[in-house]
Structure 1
Amino acid sequence: MTTKQYDFAYGRGRMKFDLDEDLVLQEIRTEEYPVMQDVKAGVLEAIRHPIGCPSLDDIVKPGQTVAFICNDPTRVANSFDFMPVLVNEMNRLSVPDENMKIVFSLGTHRLMTHEEMVQAVGEDVASRLKMYNSDCRADEDFRYFGQTSRGTPVLINKHLCDVDHVILTGTIVHHYFSGYGGGRKAILPGCAAMETVRKNHSFMLDPNAGLGRTTGNPVYEDQMEGVARFAKGRSLFLFNAILNAKHQFLKMFAGDYIAAHKEACRFVDEVYGAPIKQEADLVIASCGGYPKDINVYQMQKTMDNAALAVRQGGVVVLLADCEEGSGSAKLEETFRRLKTPQAIEAELRENFVIGANKAFAITRPMKKAKFILVTRLDRQMAKDMLFTAAVSSVPEALECAKQYVGERPSVILMPEGSLTVPRLVK
């Protein structure tokens, strides 16, 4: 038996554990791609040679107005690296600072503090541009653009409605029910009203709503239709980046919000897709640390990825610090009240509620495997949420797993679990 020490990201730090490396079938990581050495040059190259539309030089006129959409803290975007370049480029095109603003695409997440906004885009940009939260609960902040063919009311933040150009920024990873992040998601759900998000996300109950899927995915198609309604007669320009697990830039895509996003998603599949030869008895996965494991709401996405690598009836040991607890009072209340996956799904089909939908998302991968958390999450809360166990260390978790997978299980390791998407290749 040869024991090897492994070192996984956990919250804002690291967690080490020993494992017999003879048990390890595979350690899944993102594909090694060269890191972008000159970020400013990369940004300028992308926006000056856009995909599917003219460059900003051709479409931005002196004195026009611009709204940038930026990610909130639950999405790693490194906006502080590219926003100064984009803002200065607007200045070069004779758009003064006072004609620009930033809207943070919170979706249904909590509001950002001013300090968090400054941290997100950098002190220089924050001192020059007005910044706003898109608060989905502030009904007066949204304008109506009709409804989609699936009945979703298209209510979009007013700060995006009164400008000449909307620039969608952010990063792209796989998304567990809308296919991929980035692109149209900056607007819907990012800058949409609660009822818009609620109705759109209700389609996650459809079996065609899945990770890496766009064609036939009702969530994705509804988002695209909703954004198209808003985009009619408007200038939208996309800037999306792909990061590695260390949050370094690999590639940037800019241009038409549909065409550039499609091309970027092909690259996402290359970087984050991970072929496996067989499913393992046991998967040990890290979300990748903060902010991917800031709360249960965000951690859940890693559950879907890990479930793709484990056999039916196996065990996933998930390293997720959860410094902010569950991330949703509604999520907690749903589990306490309904108690079973069947009851949760039945109620959602009757009345889809944001927050409660995460309870469904958490229990769905539990149909395939048992989930043991290594976390500081409250133990009763973890029990309420139907996790098999919640412990403080990997050795404790492995000891607990033995009763389900025996003394010598086959193991797949996923140190970048929120990013890597296992794909079974026979």
Structure 2
Amino acid sequence: MKYELKFGKDKVKFEIDDKNYMGEILPREIESDITGEAEVERALKNPIGTSRLKDIVKPGEKIVIVTSDITRPMPSKKVLPPVLRELSLANVSKKDITIVLALGSHRSHTEEEKRNLIGDEIYDSEIEIIDSDMNKCINLGECTNGTPVDIFKPVAKADRIICMGNIEYHYFAGYSGGSKAIMPGVSSHDAIQANHSNMIKDEAYAGNLETNPVRQDIDETGEFVKIDFIINVVLNKKKEIVKAVAGHYIKAHREGCRHLDEMYGVEIEKQGDIVIVSPGGFPKDLNIYQSQKGLDNSKHAVREGGIIILAASAKEGFGEKTFEDWMLHKKPREMIKEIKENFKLGGHKAAAIAMILQKADIYMVTDLEDELVRKINFKPFNTVQGAIEAALKELGEDSQIMIMPAAGSTLPRFNSSC
């Protein structure tokens, strides 16, 4: 059987013998009658677990809307207008509204980036638009896991807090969205470090909520900071809003997660000996940093001691300096140990890859030099076909092969107890 995968702006082709082929893991497209801003309006009129936003807020209250920064695909400029219209129904003055762009530990925005995120009309209005600052936080307590609840002062002091975000799988927090806008969105460096250091625990993986120590901190933060309302969206592969949920920061978020699972969560009965992975082509495989998400999702589809064949151009190299330093100069076990003791942005993705290497070998088909690929503990191949032949030789000619053509957005769900 002949197959092809996206690779950079091109495609790679290969063949698999029928006896070895297990299947493909692909996202499901669910038809929606209402999309975009209209779907946001629908969700706002039908909140989950709370009253409508217009019935919660009161004139004269200081209201903060927390939304994502430029590193996330959250379409704030499409979601904000319906939210602001809902607030206007409660006679809230624009002078009493502040939009906080949740940076976490990311860099500040330029004014042009703020305008692009929020949209011209809102940017030019009386509404204040500010970046969060992890150095200007106040402590409100400590989570059960020991994580400090340090919150950006303008958010902590607000009369009402509204959180916005998009819901997608997150490789150690389970899912994005919900109160993640607060923790780590508007939290201090110490709080982010303490929370993210839990990423090495077995329960910290994509699609897990209830027993996930990273997510436990995120949700428990809502007991210290009163989140009055959330509006979260689920996007399709074209980044269009196909589902919106609004209301209680836990109940509405969980409903959004269920919808995400319907689209992108794929149940598998058995893990493959060999999994062939494409993050989805350009720009998802522009560098190794971007390709990591697809690689991480694929770990759920491969058995212990199996082989992942990663087809990722990564033409621009590593994509982040700290990530590059860790990948080139630290051994996998060293990365895992260090990330627990001293979380560092960039290093966390290297540690995540190190944890995959504890489970499976990674063969890489890439535009990078072979020597560089070997330095990061992967095995280089010029073609997918060559990698398949080497993997079959290593694991046996009857090995079962699974394909993940859109690994960046699909999550295999395997229950080992079944």
Please give the TM-score of this superposition, normalised by the length of structure 1.
0.85
Deviation at residue 156 of structure 1 after TM alignment: 1.1
Opposite residue 26 of structure 1, the aligned amino acid is G
Range that drifts further, 16-25 or 410-419: 16-25
Opposite residue 371 of structure 1, the aligned amino acid is I
Deviation at residue 382 of structure 1 after TM alignment: 4.7
Aligned pairs for 1:223-242 within 5 A: 223-231=218-226, 235-242=227-234
Please name the residue that 2:377 is paired with.
386
Paired residue for 1:414, among 404, 409, 412? 404
User: Secondary structure at the residue paired with 1:268?
Assistant: helix
Give distance in 1, aligned partners of 2:367 and 2:189: 30
For the 8 Å contact 1:315–1:405, the answer to whether it is kept is no
For the 8 Å contact 1:281–1:311, the answer to whether it is kept is yes
Opposite residue 74 of structure 1, the aligned amino acid is T
Question: Quick check: 1:202 aligned with 2:193?
Answer: no
For the 8 Å contact 1:153–1:195, the answer to whether it is kept is yes
User: Secondary structure at the residue paired with 2:377?
Assistant: coil
Deviation at residue 379 of structure 1 after TM alignment: 6.8
Give distance in 2, aligned partners of 1:295 and 1:387: 15
Which whole-Å deviations, capped at 9, do the CAs of 1:244-293 have from their partners, x for residues lacking one? 22322221110010111122222222222112243334333333456655
For the 8 Å contact 2:66–2:164, the answer to whether it is kept is yes
Opposite residue 131 of structure 1, the aligned amino acid is I
Opposite residue 243 of structure 1, the aligned amino acid is L
Please name the residue that 1:344 is paired with.
335
Give distance in 2, aligned partners of 1:260 and 1:360: 32
Paired residue for 1:87, among 78, 84, 88? 84
User: Secondary structure at the residue paired with 1:230?
Assistant: coil
Paired residue for 2:73, among 76, 81, 88? 76
Aligned pairs for 1:81-160 within 5 A: 81-128=78-125, 129-136=127-134, 139=135, 141-160=136-155
Identity among equivalent pairs (%): 34
Give RMSD over aligned pairs.
2.9
Structure 2 CA distance for partners of 1:348 and 1:3, relative to 1, 3 Å: closer
Give distance in 2, aligned partners of 1:154 and 1:179: 20
User: Secondary structure at the residue paired with 2:224?
Assistant: helix
User: Secondary structure at the residue paired with 2:44?
Assistant: helix
Aligned pairs for 1:18-417 within 5 A: 18-20=13-15, 22=18, 24-128=21-125, 129-136=127-134, 139=135, 141-231=136-226, 235-288=227-280, 292-293=284-285, 296-320=288-312, 326-338=318-330, 340-374=331-365, 382-389=373-380, 396-406=383-393, 410-417=400-407
Structure 2 CA distance for partners of 1:403 and 1:321, relative to 1, 3 Å: closer
Deviation at residue 320 of structure 1 after TM alignment: 4.4
Give distance in 1, aligned partners of 2:149 and 2:175: 20
Give distance in 2, aligned partners of 1:148 and 1:353: 21
Range that drifts further, 244-253 or 318-327: 318-327
Range that drifts further, 145-154 or 378-387: 378-387
Question: Quick check: 1:3 aligned with 2:31?
Answer: no
User: Secondary structure at the residue paired with 1:364?
Assistant: helix
Opposite residue 392 of structure 2, the aligned amino acid is V
Give distance in 2, aligned partners of 1:371 and 1:299: 13
Opposite residue 18 of structure 1, the aligned amino acid is K
Deviation at residue 63 of structure 1 after TM alignment: 4.0
Give distance in 2, aligned partners of 1:163 and 1:302: 38
For the 8 Å contact 2:273–2:306, the answer to whether it is kept is yes
User: Secondary structure at the residue paired with 2:293?
Assistant: helix
For the 8 Å contact 2:65–2:161, the answer to whether it is kept is yes
Which segments of 5 or more consecutive residues in structure 2 lack a partner in the other structure?
A: none
Give distance in 1, aligned partners of 2:28 and 2:51: 32
Opposite residue 56 of structure 2, the aligned amino acid is I
Structure 2 CA distance for partners of 1:56 and 1:349, relative to 1, 3 Å: closer
